[in-house]
Structure 1
Amino acid sequence: MGLRSGSARQLAHFLVSKPCAVRSLIVSQTKMITAYGKNGDVQKAIELFEQMPHRNQVSYNAMLSVLLDSGRLGSALQLFEEMPRKNAWSYTSMIAGLSRSGHVREARQLFDSIPPSDRNVFSWTAMISCYAQNNEPHRAVSLFSGLYRELFESKVIPNSYTLSVVLKSCGCIRSLVAVRQIHSLTLKLLDEAGEGSVFAQNALIDVYAKLDCLHDAEHVFNRMKWKDLASRNIMMDAYAHNLLLDQAFKIFNSMNERDTLSWNIMMSGLLEGRRGLEALRLFLSLLRLGHDTKPNLSTYTIILTACATHTMLEFGRQIHGHTVKNSLYPNNIFVSNSLVTMYANCGLMEDSLQVFKEMPKKDVISWNSVIHGLGKNGHAQKALEIAEKALASNNFNGNTFSAILTSCSHGGLVVDGLDYFNSMSRKYGIEPTLDHYICAVDMLGRAGMLKEAHDLLRSMPFAANSVAWSTLLNACSIHGSLNIGRVAAQELQMLETDNTKSYLGLANIYCRTETGRESRELLNLLREKGIVKELGSSWVVEI
C-alpha cells in the first residue's frame, strides 16, 4: 500500500486524504475477513474487523456472515445491534441464522421489524423457510398467503425458491387444495421454459407424488422444457415408491448423468418391490463404474437390507468388508444397524452380537434389532437380558416392546411377556398399540391359551383388523380349537371377503378335530367358488 510504518494518526490522515485508498483498503480487508471465515479462522476475522479504521455495509455484513456460519449466534446478534445501518441482506442473514438455531419466535420478531424499504423476496423467503425448517409448515403457508397481496403491491414477487418452500410446506400439511393454488400461481409468475423455474417444478413433482397424485406429478414432469438431474431423480423416486419399476427404469436408462442418489432410488425401489436380487446386480454395476459416482452409506444400508431379506450371507460378508475399507464400519450407526439385522436374518447371532458390541455408539434401532434377532433365532432369554439393559439405559420405544413380546412369543415365555405388556404404560410410559396387542395375542395363542388370547383381542381399545383375527385363527388351527376358530374365521371373512385364509384355516381346524362332514362341505364350497382346485396334502387328511 506504500506505507510500511507510521503512527495511527498518519495512517488516518492518509486515508482521509485518499478516498480511493480508503475504499480499496475496505475492499481488501473485507475479502480477507471472508477468506478467514471460509478457512475456519474466525478469531483472525474478528481481530481484523476490530482493527479496521473504516467499515462499510459490506464489511459489516461479511463479519456477520462469518459469525453466523461459525455458529456464534450471540456474537452475531451483538454485532447486528451495533451495526450503524442494516440493509435487506443483514436482516435476511440474521433471520437465517436464528432459523438454524431454532429461534423461530426471535426470527419472526426480527422479520416484523424490517422497514418496508428493506423487506424483499429474500427476507420473506428466509422467514417462510424458518417456519418450514423448524416443523411449522402451517405458519409457513400462512405467512406466504397473509403477505402475498401486500408484498405483491410493493412489487415483491415470490421466486422459484420461495414457491418450492411453500409447496413443501403444503405437502407437510397434506393440503392438495393449497398445492393446486400454488401450482396455478407458479404458472402465472414463472417462465416454465426458464432454468430458474426448475426448483418450483421439482417441488411440484415431489409434493404431488407424496400426496398420491402421481398423474399430476407426471403431467408437470412431462411438460418441463428444461429438466435437471434432480427432476429425473424425483420423478424416478415417485415411480419407484409406487412400485412402477418399469417406468422408473425407463427414466434411469435415459439419463446421461446419474449421481449416487439415482442408483440408490432404483435399488431401494427394487428392494421394496421384492426384487432384491436385481438390486444386488445393480449394485455390482455401480461398483464397476470406477469413477466419481460411488456407493455411499445409504447404498450400503439398502444392499445390506437386500442381503438380509434374501439371507445372502456370503454377499453380506463382502459388503461388510467394503464398509470397513471405506471407513463406514463400525463408526457409522446406520451401516452397523444394517449389519446387525443382516447377520441375525442369516441365523448368525454371534456375528450379529459382535457387530453390536463393536459399535461405539448405539441408538434405539441398534437395541431393537439385536433383541428382535435374538428372539427370532430362539434365544429368548438372552433377548430379555439385552432388553433389560436397553430399558435401564432409556434406549427404548414402542418397537422395543414389539421385539420383547415377539421374543417371549417364540420362546414360550408367557409370564414374562405379560409382565412386560402390562408394565408398558405404567412403568415405561409407552401406550400399547394395535401391534403390541397382536404380539400378545400371538404369544398367548402359541402357548395354547386360546381363551385368554380371544379375551385379550376382544378387550382391545382398537377395532381388531384382519391381522389380529388371522393371528388368532392360526393359533386355533395349530391347537384345534373349533369354537374360537369359527369366530375368528367369521370375523376375518367379514373384513376380507375374498381372503381364503379364513376358509382354509377353518378347514384345517375341522380336519384336526375330526369333523369330517363340515370339512367336506367347506372344501366343496371352496371348489364351487373356484378358490381352490386341488387341496395340498400338507393340511388335508383322509376323510
Structure 2
Amino acid sequence: MSKEHAASPSGVMGSMVSRSGRPCDIARRLLRRSNATWSLTVSQTKSITAHGKSGDVDKALELFDQMPHRNLVAYNAMLSVLIDSGRLDSSLQFFSRMPLKNSRSYTSMITGMGRSGRVREARRLFDSIPSRHRNVFAWTAMICCYAQNDEPLRAVKLFTDSYGDFSQSKVAPNSHTFSLLLKSCGSLKSLVYVRQFHCMIAKILDLETKCCIFVQNALVDAYAKLGCLIDAERVFGRMKWKDLASWNTMMDCYTHNLLLHQAFEIFNSMKDKDILSWNIMMSGLLESRRGLEVPNLFLSLSRLYPESKPNSSTYSIVLSACATHAMLEFGRQIHSCSYKISLYPYNIFVSNALVTMYANCGLMKEMVEVFDELPNKDVVSWNSVIQGFGQNGEAREALNLAKKALDSGMFNANTFTAIFTSCSHGGLVIEGLDYFNSMRRKYGIEPNLDHYVCVVDLLGRAGMVKEANDLLGSMPFPANSVAWSTLLNACSLHGSVDIGRVAARKLQMMEPGSVKSYLALASAYNRTGNEGASSKLLDPIVENHTVKEHGSSWVIKM
C-alpha cells in the first residue's frame, strides 16, 4: 500500500476525519458529549428527588417529562417520589410504563403497597419478580408488608416457604429480615419460632459487628414479651456492642415484668437518656400500680428541658396516672401545659387521656368540653366519654352518645363494654339486653368474655341472679375468676345462697389463697338471716388471722 493511498480517507470515517481532524479528537468530543448528557441526567434526577422531598410532586413530574435522556435511575427516582407522596395508583401506572425495571423498582412498589394495606396486590407483584431481580431487599419488603399489616403468620410462612429457593440463588436474609421476623414471632407468641430464628441468626450473621445491634435488640424484646426474661438477659449480656435502644429495650423488658428495681438500675446508670427512656419508666410505674410516683419523675424530666423534651406519649402517660389516682390538680396543670405547646386539642392521644382523667375525677362538664373541642374524634374518644357518663351515674346520657357513635360507625368491641357498664350502673336492664342481643346481628361484633361478664353484672345488680347464672352457664367459652366473682357478688348482694355456694366453690378452685369467696358467701348467709352459717365460714378465717385488706378512696377537693 502506497503512502499516498494510506493517507487518503475512505468511507464515512474518512470523511469525518477529513472534516474534523484525527480519530482521537473525535473520540474525545464524543466522550465529552456523553459526559455532558450523563451529568445533565444526574442533575435532573437529583432535582426530581429534591422536589419530591419538599412535597412538590407535580414539579417533579414536570421535570421528569422534560428530561431528554432518562435512565433506570431516573425512573426509579420518579417512582419513589410518587410512592412517598401516597399516590399509589399513579405509582402503579408509572411502574407499568417503565421500559426497564430492576430489584429496586419492585422493592419500592411492594413497600408502597404495604404502606397502603394492599397486601394481596403486593404479593402478586412479588411472585411476578423475574429470578434475576429476586434479592434480599424484595424478599424483606414482602415480609415487612405482611408484618406491618397484622399478618405475622404470613410473614413467617413466606420466609420458611421461600428460604430454600433464595438459598439456592445464594440470597441470604439480612439483619432487617430477621428483625421483622422476630417482631412477627412476638405477635404470634411463638417461642419455638424465636428460638429457630435465633439459631439461624447465630449461623448467618456476624453478631460481633455493630450493624447487628438492632437484631439483638429485637431478640431481647421477643424473648421478654414471651416471658423468657432469662433468655433476654442472656442475649443482652452477651452483646459486644450496645446502643441507646439496647438499654431502652432491656429496661422495657423489666418494666413489663414489673421488675422496677432492675429497670431503675439501668435508668439511673444511663448517661445519655432520650425521651423514650423516661416514657418507659413512667409507664412502668403506672403498670406496677406506682402511678403516684409518675408526677415526680415527670418534674425531673421537665427540669432537663430543652435537652430532653416531653412528647405526646409522655403527656398521655402522666394523664393516665392522674386519671388512675384522681390527681386532679396535677392533671389540670398538665392540661395547661399541653395547650401551651399545641398538643391540645390536636393530639388525639393527649385529648383522649384528658377525657378519661376528668371522667375519673367526676367532672362531667370538663369531660364534655374536652370531647367537644376535639377536631377529629376517634373510636377511643367516643368510648371514653360513653364510659365516663356511665361510671358517673348518667346512664341515659351515655346511651344517647352511644347511639350517635353506633349510627356514625365510630364503634368497636369496647364500645359495647362501655354500654353494658353504663346500663349496669344505671339499672337499665332492658336496654342493656337489647344491645347485647343485637351486637352480633346488627353491628357485626362478636360478644367476648368481657361482654358476658358485664351482662352478668347487669343482671346480678338488678336482682336477676338466676338469669345471670344461666347466662354464665351458656357462654361459648369457660368462665374465669372475674365472671364467678361477679356472680358471687350479686348473690351476696341479694342473698342468693344456693347459687352463691356454686360460685364460691368455683372461685375457690381458681383462687385457692383468696378469702373473697368466703366473705361474699358469708354476706349472703347474713342477708337470709342465717348468722350461724355465716359464722361457720368466718371463724376459721379469724382464727388464722386472715383479714380482708382495707379499702381506700380518693377525696378530691373541689
What's the TM-score, normalizing by structure 2?
A: 0.87
Residue 276 of structure 1 deviates from its aligned partner by 0.5
Aligned mates of 1:77, 1:432 — CA distance in 2:
41
The Cα offsets for residues 175-226 of structure 1, whole Å up to 9 and x where unpaired, read as 3222212111111222222111112111111111222212111111111111
Aligned mates of 2:156, 2:106 — CA distance in 1:
21
- Structure 1 runs (4+) greater than 6 angstroms displaced: 14-17, 533-536
Partner residue of 1:108 out of 88, 98, 123 = 123
CA contact (8 A) 1:527 1:533 kept: no
Please name the residue that 2:298 is paired with: 283
Q: Which moved more, 1:468-477 or 1:520-529?
A: 520-529
Residue 238 of structure 1 deviates from its aligned partner by 1.3
Aligned mates of 1:55, 1:360 — CA distance in 2:
45
Please name the residue that 1:168 is paired with: 183
Write the mapping of 1:132-143 to structure 2, written as runs, cut at 5 A. Answer: 132-143=147-158
Residue 297 of structure 1 deviates from its aligned partner by 1.2
The Cα offsets for residues 142-196 of structure 1, whole Å up to 9 and x where unpaired, read as 3323333333343322221121122222333333222212111111222222111
CA contact (8 A) 1:16 1:22 kept: no
Please name the residue that 1:540 is paired with: none
Write the mapping of 1:30-429 to structure 2, written as runs, cut at 5 A. Answer: 30-429=45-444
Aligned mates of 2:467, 2:139 — CA distance in 1:
60
**AA in 2 matched with 1:466:** S
Please identify the structure whose Cα radius of gyration is greater. Answer: 2
Residue 315 of structure 1 deviates from its aligned partner by 0.6
Give the secondary-structure state (helix, strand or coil) at the position aligned to 2:350.
helix
Root-mean-square deviation over aligned CA pairs: 2.5
Aligned mates of 2:474, 2:130 — CA distance in 1:
62
Please name the residue that 1:8 is paired with: none
Aligned mates of 1:73, 1:475 — CA distance in 2:
56
Give the secondary-structure state (helix, strand or coil) at the position aligned to 1:319.
helix
| Residues 19, 251 of structure 1: alpha-carbon distance in 2 compared, 3 angstrom cutoff | same
The Cα offsets for residues 31-61 of structure 1, whole Å up to 9 and x where unpaired, read as 2222222222222222222222222232222
CA contact (8 A) 1:15 1:22 kept: no
| Residues 59, 468 of structure 1: alpha-carbon distance in 2 compared, 3 angstrom cutoff | closer
Residue 244 of structure 1 deviates from its aligned partner by 0.9
Residue 241 of structure 1 deviates from its aligned partner by 0.9
**AA in 2 matched with 1:313:** L
| Residues 346, 21 of structure 1: alpha-carbon distance in 2 compared, 3 angstrom cutoff | same
| Residues 250, 82 of structure 1: alpha-carbon distance in 2 compared, 3 angstrom cutoff | same
Please name the residue that 2:44 is paired with: 29
Give the secondary-structure state (helix, strand or coil) at the position aligned to 1:464.
coil
Identity among equivalent positions (%) equals 67
Residue 104 of structure 1 deviates from its aligned partner by 3.1
User: Is 2:496 the counterpart of 1:453?
Assistant: no
Aligned mates of 1:372, 1:231 — CA distance in 2:
38
Residue 97 of structure 1 deviates from its aligned partner by 2.5
CA contact (8 A) 1:15 1:21 kept: no
Residue 349 of structure 1 deviates from its aligned partner by 0.9
Residue 518 of structure 1 deviates from its aligned partner by 2.3
Residue 414 of structure 1 deviates from its aligned partner by 2.7
Aligned mates of 1:59, 1:120 — CA distance in 2:
21
Q: Which moved more, 1:402-411 or 1:300-309?
A: 402-411
Aligned mates of 1:107, 1:391 — CA distance in 2:
33
Aligned mates of 2:309, 2:548 — CA distance in 1:
51
Please name the residue that 2:21 is paired with: none
Aligned mates of 2:253, 2:374 — CA distance in 1:
34
Give the secondary-structure state (helix, strand or coil) at the position aligned to 1:425.
coil
**AA in 2 matched with 1:309:** T
Q: Which moved more, 1:224-233 or 1:146-155?
A: 146-155
Q: Which moved more, 1:270-279 or 1:350-359?
A: 350-359
**AA in 2 matched with 1:199:** F
| Residues 313, 115 of structure 1: alpha-carbon distance in 2 compared, 3 angstrom cutoff | same
Q: Which moved more, 1:469-478 or 1:156-165?
A: 469-478
CA contact (8 A) 2:182 2:197 kept: yes
CA contact (8 A) 2:45 2:74 kept: yes
User: Is 2:514 the counterpart of 1:499?
Assistant: yes
Partner residue of 2:529 out of 507, 511, 514 = 514
Residue 346 of structure 1 deviates from its aligned partner by 0.7
Aligned mates of 2:122, 2:372 — CA distance in 1:
44
Extract unaligned runs of 5+ from structure 2: 1-28, 552-558
| Residues 387, 214 of structure 1: alpha-carbon distance in 2 compared, 3 angstrom cutoff | same
Give the secondary-structure state (helix, strand or coil) at the position aligned to 2:265.
helix
CA contact (8 A) 1:510 1:516 kept: yes
The Cα offsets for residues 464-497 of structure 1, whole Å up to 9 and x where unpaired, read as 3222222222223233333333333223223322
Aligned mates of 1:535, 1:304 — CA distance in 2:
27
How many residues in Structure 1 have an aligned counterpart in Structure 2? Answer: 523
Give the secondary-structure state (helix, strand or coil) at the position aligned to 1:186.
helix
Please name the residue that 1:437 is paired with: 452
Aligned mates of 1:150, 1:456 — CA distance in 2:
54
| Residues 527, 384 of structure 1: alpha-carbon distance in 2 compared, 3 angstrom cutoff | same
Residue 339 of structure 1 deviates from its aligned partner by 0.9
Residue 280 of structure 1 deviates from its aligned partner by 1.6
Aligned mates of 1:409, 1:77 — CA distance in 2:
53
Residue 361 of structure 1 deviates from its aligned partner by 2.0
Aligned mates of 1:429, 1:466 — CA distance in 2:
28
Residue 19 of structure 1 deviates from its aligned partner by 1.9
Give the secondary-structure state (helix, strand or coil) at the position aligned to 1:18.
helix
Partner residue of 2:485 out of 461, 470, 473 = 470
The Cα offsets for residues 259-314 of structure 1, whole Å up to 9 and x where unpaired, read as 21111111111001000011121111111111242111111111111001111111
**AA in 2 matched with 1:379:** E
The Cα offsets for residues 48-101 of structure 1, whole Å up to 9 and x where unpaired, read as 222222222322222222222222334433443443433332332233223323
CA contact (8 A) 1:405 1:436 kept: yes
